[in-house]
């Protein structure tokens, strides 16, 4: 019963966030960047301005709505990069073994040794702020767990009868990996991916706070929240709404991840992701 509550609430929250992002042009009242009118600066929430306006007179509601695009892009794309790297390296290392396995192992150890936020910070510093840099920075620094799981599954699966049968049938390595191994490890990978998306959204906020976030004027929740921190007492709505958006989305992803884990990966309740 409880398990389903996780899944339903989490799934709903996340789906809602995605929907808002996709439908942003229809949901938003104004353009999030150009419709700045300093005459309307810092209006509190009202019927006209649902979430109030910011110090440049932009509609916060519209910015939060458009912010979903940026923040979710960061979450989804960067985690996708992580998953692809992790699976590609882990799967091939586990399947082929040998020196390649050693190389991947060493690489994973290096990645595990550098805290991912610090690594992302360094990459951002080199690439400069901006969405692309952010996707690269967060996409390159959080694949080690996926890699480990993929490697472990590949190791245990490659000696299974059906995989060996495929080998005997003369299937190519790539085909075996894609058709025989990958589908069997997808469960835990999806779970890690879901939780990873949540932490990517939070990392975006943290990097914004450190001054290395998405390049405005396009709004992201993290940069909105970070920019609003000085006005927490004078104009709390500036931070409340993007803050809530981050919180609900990450909460949704965490619940969804938990729920998915119960279904897809029942044996690893205690495994850390």
Q: Which residues lie near another protein (CB under 8 A)?
A: 1-2, 33-39, 41, 55-57, 106-107, 109-110, 112-118, 121-123, 125-126, 128-130, 198, 202, 205-206, 209-212, 215-217, 222, 225-227, 229-235, 239, 243, 246-247, 250-251, 254-255, 258, 269-270, 272
Quote the DSSP letter at residue 221: H
The answer to whether 212 touches 121, Cβ cutoff 8 Å, is yes
Phi/psi at 210 (5° precision): -80, 0
Read off the DSSP letter of residue 55. Answer: T
Nearer to another protein, 65 or 163 (CB): 65
- Identity of the residue, 122 or 186, whose beta carbon is nearer to another protein in the bound complex: 122
Minimum distance from CB of 166 to another protein (Å)?
30
Residue 212 C-beta: closest distance to another protein, Å:
8
d(CA 164, CA 170): 10
Q: How far is the CB of 25 from another protein (least distance, A)?
A: 18
Residue closer to another protein by CB (options 33, 182) is 33
Residue 158 CB, shortest distance to another protein, in Å, is 25
CB 149 within 8 A of CB 189: yes
Distance, in Å, from the CA atom of 201 to the CA atom of 167, rounded to the nearest integer, reads 41
Considering beta carbons, is residue 117 or 150 the nearer one to another protein? Answer: 117
- The helices-and-strands tally (H runs, E runs) of the chain is 12, 0
Q: What minimum distance in Å lies between the beta carbon of 116 and another protein? A: 6
**Residue 12 contacts residue 249 (beta carbons within 8 Å):** no
The distance of closest approach from Cβ of residue 1 to another protein in the complex, given in angstroms and rounded to an integer, is: 7
Q: In whole angstroms, what is the distance from residue 203 CA to residue 223 CA? A: 11
Min dist. Cβ of residue 215 to another protein (A): 5
For residues 204 and 222, the answer to whether their CB atoms sit within 8 Å is yes
> Which class for 268: exposed (0-12), middle (13-18), buried (19 or more C-beta within 10 A)?
middle
- Closer CB to another protein, 16 or 41, in the complex: 41
User: Which CB, 82 or 180, lies closer to another protein?
Assistant: 82
Q: Give the C-alpha separation, 196 to 225, whole Å.
A: 21
Cβ proximity to another protein: between 45 and 129 the closer is 129
Here the tokens at position 212 are: 């290395």
């Amino acid at each position: 019963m409880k398990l389903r509550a996780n899944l339903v609430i989490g799934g709903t929250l996340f789906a809602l966030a995605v929907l808002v992002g996709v439908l942003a042009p229809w949901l938003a009242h104004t353009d999030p960047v150009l419709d700045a009118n300093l005459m309307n600066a810092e209006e509190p929430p009202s019927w006209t301005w649902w979430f109030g306006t910011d110090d440049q007179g932009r509609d916060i509601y519209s910015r939060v709505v458009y912010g979903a695009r940026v923040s979710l892009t960061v979450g989804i794309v960067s985690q996708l990069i992580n998953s692809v790297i992790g699976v590609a390296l882990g799967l091939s290392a586990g399947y082929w073994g040998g020196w390649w396995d050693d190389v991947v192992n060493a690489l994973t150890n290096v990645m595990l040794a550098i805290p991912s936020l610090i690594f992302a910070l360094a990459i951002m510093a080199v690439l400069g702020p901006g969405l692309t840099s952010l996707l690269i920075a967060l996409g390159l620094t959080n694949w080690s767990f996926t890699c480990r799981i993929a490697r472990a599954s590949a190791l245990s699966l490659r000696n299974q009868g059906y995989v060996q049968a495929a080998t005997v049938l003369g299937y190519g390595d790539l085909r075996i990996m894609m058709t025989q191994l990958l589908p069997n490890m997808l469960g835990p990978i999806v779970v890690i991916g879901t939780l990873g998306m949540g932490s990517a959204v939070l990392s975006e906020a943290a990097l914004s706070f450190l001054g290395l976030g998405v390049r405005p004027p396009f709004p992201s929740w993290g940069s909105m929240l970070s920019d609003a921190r000085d006005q927490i007492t004078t104009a709390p709505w500036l931070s409340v709404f993007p803050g809530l958006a981050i919180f609900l989305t990450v909460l949704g992803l965490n619940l969804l991840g938990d729920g998915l884990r119960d279904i897809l990966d029942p044996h690893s309740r205690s495994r850390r992701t």
